[in-house]
């Protein structure tokens, strides 16, 4: 790694943009330490690596009022997108109910605290399939009301007892097309091939979508990824750790690739699409061997709006609206009927198109949820030490 990249890596490890999702990672570790104490040294090291202080745990909830539904997401552009596409669509059918989109972040710690205190202020949350299984198994979520939403509007793997798929997103491989003298990397083996594709790599400060890439780079077939061999995956990541920058937020991953501080990266496909536009195609990406997740609607147990909140999720199942949401944020439509509505010039950027789904690994959310805290702890220890 060059001196410049060493300096960049150090800066990114300490002075990172800390979004709500990073705080959720620490909440997972705090929850884990309450039943199986994490060594203080490791805990403090992990907190420093993520760039998170205790001051970031203040909660500013939105309170549901009469005839009101509070929908919570992770903030940023997704607030405006939900308001523009799905709130407006819902209001056409339910003009007497107000929808408030709150971007404070539906983290596991906040949901758990609300439910256990009996002071739930959120009605519907934008998480993912992993969070839905994990929180549901803890008794913190209401079951999906399939009398109000259409189970057939998503694939079988994109719905569950406590969660309903809302959109699709992938961890995809991005690269700088100017970096390799005309050679194009094809898969994760190329990502780990520093000889033929030299330069700094970029991975995430969370194991989601990263362990799978490491195993495929080590020769594991996509269909044999789960259950993940943690030791094998972490050893593979250690092979390139000294040549790797670890990103904490989506905007940081975008900046690293845009500025050329890394020549290849494992990142959200939506961010890869944005940096592709920002660099006039200099940075490109592929869904080949991508890891496909489902963003998911979940409802905290005791939500004030009750089952009526699922009417909002039902409105968001509309295929045309999902395409509009895709145009705004890059998150792929989860309703299979929406694929035919995606403009031809955007189809290659849709993680849910039949062609792109076929080349990706669908995440095993049950494996993730089985021991999330321990898996996260091992991953962070491996990349921070």
**pLDDT tens, position by position, 35-56:** 444 444 455 556 556 665 544 4
Contact of 39 with 280, CB cutoff 8 Å: no
Average pLDDT of the chain, as a whole number: 88
Same domain, 252 and 373: yes
Q: Are residues 139 and 13 part of one domain? A: no
Has residue 233 been placed in a domain?
yes
- On whether both 310 and 174 belong to a single domain, the answer is no
Local confidence band at 385 (pLDDT 50, 70, 90 cut-offs): confident
- Report the CATH number at residue 300: 3.40.190.10
pLDDT at 60 over 70: no
Asked if the structure places residue 196 within a domain, the reply is yes
Residue 15 has pLDDT above 50, yes or no: no
Q: Are 69 and 305 in contact (CB under 8 A)?
A: yes
156 shares its domain with 183: no
Residue 373 has pLDDT above 50, yes or no: yes
Domain match, 191 and 261 both: yes
Asked if 138 and 284 sit in the same domain, the reply is no
Q: Is residue 227 assigned to a domain?
A: yes
Task: Please give the span between the terminal C-alpha atoms of the chain, in angstroms, as a whole number.
Answer: 17
Q: Are 256 and 379 part of one and the same domain?
A: yes
pLDDT, average across residues 305-325: 98
State whether 148 and 192 are in the same domain.
no
271 and 298 assigned to the same domain: no
Same domain, 257 and 373: yes
Whether residue 30 is contained in a domain is answered as no
Q: Looking at the domain assignment, is residue 252 inside a domain?
A: yes
Would you call 149 helix, strand, or coil by DSSP?
A: coil
Structural domain total, the chain: 2
pLDDT tens-digit map of 143-176:
999 999 999 999 999 999 999 999 999 999 999 9
- Domain holding 79, by residue range, is 57-168+294-345
Please name every residue paired with 19 in a beta bridge, in sequence order, or none if there are none.
none
Q: Is residue 355 part of a domain?
A: no
Residue 231 covered by a domain? yes
Residues 234 and 285 occupy one common structural domain: yes
pLDDT digits (tens, 9 = 90+) for 325-342: 999 999 999 999 999 999
Helix, coil or strand: residue 42: helix
In a domain, 24, yes or no: no
Residues 236 and 372 in one domain: yes
Helix spans in the chain (H): 3-14, 20-35, 40-50, 77-82, 88-93, 108-117, 129-137, 188-192, 211-217, 230-240, 250-259, 269-278, 310-315, 319-329, 354-358, 365-370, 372-384
CA dist., res. 264 & res. 384, Å (int): 20
Q: Distance (Å, rounded) from C-alpha 16 to C-alpha 254?
A: 13
Distance CA 159, CA 146 (A): 10
The whole model's pTM is what? 0.84
> Nearest to residue 217, comparing CAs of 194, 196, 185, 190?
190
């Amino acid at each position: 790694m060059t001196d410049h990249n060493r300096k960049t890596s150090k800066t990114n490890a300490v002075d990172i943009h800390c979004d709500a999702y990073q705080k959720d990672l620490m909440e997972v570790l705090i929850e884990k330490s309450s039943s199986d104490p994490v060594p203080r040294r490791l805990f403090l090291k992990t907190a420093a690596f993520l760039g998170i202080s205790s001051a970031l745990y203040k909660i500013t909830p939105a309170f549901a009022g009469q005839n009101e539904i509070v929908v919570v997401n992770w903030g940023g552009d997704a607030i405006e997108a939900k308001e523009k596409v799905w709130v407006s669509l819902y209001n056409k059918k339910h003009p007497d109910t107000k929808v408030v989109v709150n971007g404070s972040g539906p983290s596991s710690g906040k949901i758990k605290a609300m439910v256990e205190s009996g002071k739930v202020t959120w009605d519907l949350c934008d998480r993912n399939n992993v969070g839905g299984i994990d929180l549901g198994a803890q008794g913190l979520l209401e079951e999906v009301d399939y009398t109000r939403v259409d189970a057939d509007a998503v694939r079988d793997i994109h719905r569950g007892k406590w969660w309903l798929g809302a959109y699709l997103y992938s961890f995809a491989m991005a690269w700088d097309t100017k970096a390799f003298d005309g050679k194009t990397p094809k898969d994760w083996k190329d990502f780990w091939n520093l000889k033929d594709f030299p330069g700094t790599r970029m991975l995430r400060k969370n194991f989601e979508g990263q362990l799978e890439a490491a195993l495929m780079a080590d020769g594991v077939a996509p269909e044999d990824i789960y259950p993940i061999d943690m030791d094998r995956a972490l050893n593979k990541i250690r092979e390139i750790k000294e040549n790797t920058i670890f990103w904490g937020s989506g905007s940081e991953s975008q900046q690293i690739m845009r500025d050329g501080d890394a020549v290849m990266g494992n990142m959200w496909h939506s961010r890869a699409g944005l940096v592709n536009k920002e660099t006039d195609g200099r940075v490109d990406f592929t869904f080949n061997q991508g890891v496909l997740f489902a963003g998911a609607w979940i409802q905290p147990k005791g939500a004030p709006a009750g089952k009526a909140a699922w009417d909002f999720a039902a409105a968001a199942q509309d295929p045309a609206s999902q395409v509009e949401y895709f145009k705004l944020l890059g998150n792929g439509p989860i309703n299979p009927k929406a694929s035919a509505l995606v403009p031809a010039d955007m189809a290659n950027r849709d993680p849910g198109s039949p062609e792109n789904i076929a080349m990706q690994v669908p995440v095993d959310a049950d494996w993730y949820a089985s021991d999330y805290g321990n898996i996260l702890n091992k991953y962070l220890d491996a990349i921070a030490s």
